[in-house]
């Protein structure tokens, strides 16, 4: 693996840091108030709590950070975060990004759970989330909560590495709107619009967007075939019939046309839509009940597949009830509930001979926290899940959170999280081409991830400075992998087993300093090393050993603001299922810079310019053979009313 040699090759950070230190402060007392109030999260324990009380490593991406980033893609928001692995890549199923927590990156990360407003977007067919097809607009997001570490006891299997919960904005009673138009190199064109309205009893918000992008270049220069044309819409409605109850409606969809990387299959059409209803009952502050029902449909069509047209339809139905309450002067806090999920996939091309496959999952869970001393809190959670593909699988997590003095927090935690086999791994019977056959293994069992963590968090200098360090060790038993089942020339038959084991150990360190609401600096460092019982390159070397990120934002002068994000990743090797090959990814630096201008007296209008990958014309990030190019884009955004 390439050694750790972080070298800053561009002066952007020096320029920005100088501007940050010397730049004008906003009204210091008032502007810093929001930052000075400690953030609260709900994902770590399924109840609202302060970040320092959470039994896991937690990070929040706020609506302000999302808006100021002017990110072109959802996964760009995770790229420079501690403990996260992010790469631009292209799978054969239309997935355009690889996002993982604490290693094991792949086209579909089956050990990471992604939620939108508490609704799972995990695909039972291949595992993981299809990032660019998630029907959520960037401007519709209120915040993103990232839990690093196992949380399967509360959210079910496939949450071993962590949980990413994307929480959209709740509509308010006032009329508000937002427009954003973006244009840049590589054929990038994007338009976004949002409108909300309502009154004291009910409100709604509607978001729409369209994005187009040409293909990424190959390392030698010519453009690939991975073009994109994407249309998205999302809706959120709120009705409050009484002071203690509310009903929320959610809906949305994504309609994409993509060029995929295989030259024999240049066109893919992808459609997803969902509907969800939530009933919230809060009769008193110490107790609340939430009931949820959701439906999702995913359709993939490949008109010109290797051996003819291919179509895949996936349906998912979810139901869940959660009860939260506290007693003994809030020293004891309880969360319990249950959920059901029914997933099905219909595809004669993927499951030749038996095109309809399903997986039904039932789960019960409970969590209890106990403040045994004023500065010592014990937390425990457990669940039992039954599924068609995984059988009976228990999960648990325990933690002790101690506040020894002032703003200092110590955390010790341990968890067990299963990852059940996907429908593809169990039942596939698919010809990749005339010489390769992929078959499932119905004897696959669940993978088991055991994690041990220690964390420290503190704030200094009147909460202007934050520091956090998290140490982790995790083991994965029954690790799944692709194997050669047989070879009878010219036919190669591939299948799956899970007789391997892996262990990962590492540390995540991050710090930040904020002068006021308009000036801040951050830095983080992640070290991780993996070992496997049976040598397998795509696991052992698939995670960069060293990752360094640093940057900041500043209000520079008279309506101008600037930001920079800089990241280094060590060299590593990744495996592409679409190409069936490993590819060495050289170590690289990536620097993204943005400049924005909001005319004084017209803060609702903003012009912005963003540069990404500014160090080199292109570099490799994933194993499909395409390169991430240097890109420049700009645009304008306009908001009216109390749009946040």
Q: What is the pLDDT of residues 486-527, one digit of tens each?
A: 888 888 998 999 888 999 999 999 999 998 878 899 999 999
Q: Confidence band (pLDDT; 50, 70, 90) for 27?
A: very low
Spatial distance between the Cα atoms of 420 and 125, rounded to a whole number of angstroms: 12
Phi, psi for 65 (deg, rounded to 5): -65, -40
Note the pLDDT of residue 12. Answer: 44
Mark out the alpha helices in 47-197 (DSSP H runs). 63-69, 152-155
Spatial distance between the Cα atoms of 388 and 391, rounded to a whole number of angstroms: 6
Spatial distance between the Cα atoms of 156 and 111, rounded to a whole number of angstroms: 11
Which of 24-38, 338-352, 412-426 shows the lowest mean pLDDT across its residues?
24-38
Q: Write 264-267 long-range contacts (CB < 8 A, 24+).
A: 264/304, 264/305, 264/306, 264/433, 265/92, 265/302, 265/304, 265/305, 265/306, 266/225, 266/304, 267/302, 267/303, 267/304
Spatial distance between the Cα atoms of 92 and 107, rounded to a whole number of angstroms: 9
pLDDT tens digits along 369-396: 999 999 999 999 999 999 999 999 999 9
Q: Virtual CA dihedral for 95, 98, 100, 106, nearest 10 degrees?
A: 80
Q: Which helix (H) or strand (E) holds 13?
A: helix 12-22
Cα distances from 252 to residues 237, 248, 271, in angstroms, run 12, 14, 11
Spatial distance between the Cα atoms of 57 and 330, rounded to a whole number of angstroms: 23
Note the pLDDT of residue 9. Answer: 47
Q: Which residue has the tokens 């990038």?
A: 188
Angle at 120 between CA 118 and CA 124, to 5 degrees: 170
pLDDT tens digits along 8-24: 444 444 444 444 444 44
Q: Where are the domains of the chain?
A: 12-640
Q: Virtual CA dihedral for 127, 129, 132, 135, nearest 10 degrees?
A: 120
Q: Confidence band (pLDDT; 50, 70, 90) for 29?
A: very low
Note the pLDDT of residue 265. Answer: 60
Which of 9-18, 107-116, 305-314 shows the lowest mean pLDDT across its residues?
9-18
Average of per-residue pLDDT values in the chain: 88
Note the pLDDT of residue 578. Answer: 58
Note the pLDDT of residue 83. Answer: 94
Spatial distance between the Cα atoms of 396 and 58, rounded to a whole number of angstroms: 18
When computed from its CA atoms, the radius of gyration of the chain, rounded to whole angstroms, is 24
Q: Confidence band (pLDDT; 50, 70, 90) for 567?
A: very high
pLDDT tens digits along 184-195: 999 999 999 999
Say what percent of the chain tops pLDDT 70.
91
Spatial distance between the Cα atoms of 376 and 70, rounded to a whole number of angstroms: 41
The yes-or-no verdict on residue 26 having pLDDT over 70 is no
* The two structure tokens encoding residue 255: 């309609």
The yes-or-no verdict on residue 155 having pLDDT over 60 is yes
Mean pLDDT, range 170-175, rounded to an integer:
90
Q: Confidence band (pLDDT; 50, 70, 90) for 580?
A: low
Longest CA–CA separation in the chain, Å? 75
pLDDT tens digits along 67-86: 889 999 999 999 999 999 99
Note the pLDDT of residue 577. Answer: 64
Q: Confidence band (pLDDT; 50, 70, 90) for 55?
A: very high
Task: Please name the fold of domain 12-640.
Answer: Maltoporin; Chain A (2.40.170)
Note the pLDDT of residue 77. Answer: 95
pLDDT tens digits along 235-257: 999 999 998 999 999 999 999 99
Note the pLDDT of residue 537. Answer: 56
Which of 300-309, 392-401, 410-419, 574-583 shows the lowest mean pLDDT across its residues?
574-583
Note the pLDDT of residue 37. Answer: 52
Q: Confidence band (pLDDT; 50, 70, 90) for 2?
A: very low
Q: Confidence band (pLDDT; 50, 70, 90) for 260?
A: confident
Which of 460, 462, 459 lies closest to 28 in space, CA to CA? Answer: 462
* The two structure tokens encoding residue 591: 């620097």
Q: Confidence band (pLDDT; 50, 70, 90) for 332?
A: very high
pLDDT tens digits along 616-634: 888 888 767 788 899 999 9
Q: Which helix (H) or strand (E) holds 208?
A: strand 202-213
Note the pLDDT of residue 243. Answer: 87
């Amino acid at each position: 693996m390439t050694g750790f040699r972080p070298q800053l090759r561009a002066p952007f950070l020096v320029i920005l840091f100088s501007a940050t230190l010397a730049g004008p402060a906003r009204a210091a007392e008032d502007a810093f108030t929001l930052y000075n109030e400690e953030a609260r999260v709900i994902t770590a324990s399924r109840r609202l709590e302060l970040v320092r009380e959470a039994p896991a490593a937690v990070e929040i991406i706020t609506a302000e950070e999302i808006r100021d980033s002017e990110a072109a893609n959802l996964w760009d928001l995770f790229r420079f975060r501690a403990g996260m692995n992010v790469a631009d890549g292209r799978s054969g199923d239309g997935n355009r990004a690889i996002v993982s927590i604490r290693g094991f990156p792949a086209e579909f990360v089956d050990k990471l759970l992604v939620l939108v407003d508490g609704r799972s977007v995990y695909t039972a067919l291949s595992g993981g989330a299809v990032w660019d097809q998630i029907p959520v607009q960037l401007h519709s997001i209120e915040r993103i909560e990232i839990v690093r570490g196992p949380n399967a006891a509360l959210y079910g299997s496939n949450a071993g590495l962590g949980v990413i919960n994307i929480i959209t904005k709740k509509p308010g009673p006032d009329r508000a709107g937002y427009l954003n138009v973006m244009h840049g190199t590589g054929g990038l064109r994007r338009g976004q619009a949002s409108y909300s309205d309502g009154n004291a009893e009910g409100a709604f918000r509607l978001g729409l967007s369209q994005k187009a992008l040409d293909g990424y270049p190959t390392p030698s220069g010519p453009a690939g075939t991975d073009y994109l044309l994407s249309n998205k819409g999302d809706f959120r409605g709120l009705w409050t019939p009484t002071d203690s109850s509310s009903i929320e409606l959610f809906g949305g969809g994504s309609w994409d046309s993509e060029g995929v990387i295989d030259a024999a299959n240049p066109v893919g059409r992808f459609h997803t839509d969902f509907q969800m209803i939530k009933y919230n009952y809060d009769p008193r502050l110490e107790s609340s009940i939430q009931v949820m029902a959701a439906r999702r449909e995913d359709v993939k069509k490949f008109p010109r597949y290797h051996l003819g047209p291919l179509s895949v339809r996936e349906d998912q139905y979810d139901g869940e009830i959660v009860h939260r309450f506290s007693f003994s002067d809030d020293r004891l806090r309880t969360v319990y509930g249950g959920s059901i999920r029914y997933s099905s996939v219909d595809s004669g091309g993927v499951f030749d001979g038996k095109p309809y496959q399903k997986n039904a999952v039932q789960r019960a869970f409970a969590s209890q926290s106990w403040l045994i001393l004023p500065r010592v809190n014990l937390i425990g959670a457990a669940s039992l899940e039954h599924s068609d593909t995984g059988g009976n699988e228990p999960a648990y997590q325990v933690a002790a959170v101690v506040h020894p003095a002032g703003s200092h927090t110590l955390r010790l935690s341990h968890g067990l999280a299963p990852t059940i086999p996907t429908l593809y791994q169990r039942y596939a019977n698919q010809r990749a081409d005339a010489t390769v056959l992929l078959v499932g293994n119905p004897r696959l069992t669940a993978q088991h991830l055991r994690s041990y963590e220690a964390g420290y968090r503190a704030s200094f200098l009147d909460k202007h400075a934050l520091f956090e360090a998290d140490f982790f060790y995790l083991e994965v038993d029954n690790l799944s992998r692709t194997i050669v089942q047989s070879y009878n020339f010219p036919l190669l038959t591939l299948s799956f087993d899970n007789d391997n084991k892996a262990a990962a150990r590492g540390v995540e360190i991050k710090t930040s300093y904020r002068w006021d609401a308009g000036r801040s600096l951050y830095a983080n460092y992640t070290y991780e090393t993996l070992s496997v019982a049976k040598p397998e390159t795509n696991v052992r070397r698939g995670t960069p050993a060293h990752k360094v990120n640093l940057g900041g934002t500043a209000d520079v002068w008279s309506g101008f603001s600037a930001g920079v994000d800089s990241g280094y990743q060590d060299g590593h090797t990744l495996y592409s299922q679409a190409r069936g090959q490993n590819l060495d990814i050289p170590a690289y630096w990536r620097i993204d810079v943005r400049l924005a201008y909001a005319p004084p007296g017209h803060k609702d209008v903003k012009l912005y310019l963003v540069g990404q990958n500014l160090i080199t014309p292109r570099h490799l990030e994933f194993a499909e053979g395409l390169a991430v190019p240097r890109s420049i884009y700009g645009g304008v955004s306009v908001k009216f009313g109390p749009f946040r």
